[in-house]
Each structure stands twice: as structure tokens, then as C-alpha cells.
Amino acid sequence: MKTRARIGNAIGRNIGFGVWLRAVALMAFAMPAHAGALTDVIAQCAACHGPDGIARSADAPNLAGQHELYLYNQLRAFADGKRPHKEMRFMSRQLSDAEMREIAHYYEQLPR
């Protein structure tokens, strides 16, 4: 139970463990085999943007079903400091260009 609680806290208190588990399973099948590290990044995204790309908070936008190019451009803008947001600047600066493209592609594939 302690592990389950830690996992739940890591992705936010307002989403259930079952939803998180299904999202992780979806990520495992939706991403290429070399994308193990990317799956970890997507799990970090889920803390604010929801495991299914639908944010549970009004402070974070939904990412599911957004256009790939739009999402990529927003990640680039955060990383370059052109779009101000403290958390997103930190998160995006850790990503390579290829990872940004793969994240954008992943979220575009999710249903709205």
C-alpha cells in the first residue's frame, strides 16, 4: 500500500491509481521500444496534464488531441524562454529536440 500511495502522490492526489495504471500501460504500447526514458517523461507530464492528456486542474491545459506541431512549438518556446512558465521552462530544458517531437506526437495521438 505504501508504494501505491507514493505513486498516487507522484501523479497528483485527484486522479485514481487505476487511471494512472491504464495510462502507463497505454504509453508502453503507444511508444517505440527505445522510448523507455520518454515514458518516464510522459509520466512526469501526467502530474499536471493528466495521465490521459486531460488536465485535472484549470491551471494546466489539456494536451490530448492537440496538433503535433503546435505542441512541439510550445515546448520549444518554453525551452527557449519565449513563453514564460517556471515549471515548463525547467521541464522543457531537460528535453532534446527529438524528445520534444516524440512527446508532441504521443499527445496528438490521444483522444480528446
Total structural domains within the chain: 1
pLDDT at 1: 42
Domain harbouring 85, CATH code: 1.10.760.10
How many angstroms from the chain centroid is the CA of residue 57? 14
Task: Report the C-alpha gap between 60 and 108 in whole angstroms.
Answer: 17
pLDDT digit string, tens, across residues 81-93: 999 999 999 999 9
Domain range for 96: 2-109
- Go through 27-57 and write b for each residue having 16 or more CB atoms within 10 A of its CB, e for each that does not: beeebeeebeebeebbbebbbbbbbbbbbbe
Report yes or no: 63 and 45 within 8 Å, Cβ to Cβ: yes
pLDDT at 7: 42
pLDDT at 37: 77
Backbone phi and psi for residue 57, each to the nearest 5 degrees, phi listed first: -125, 145
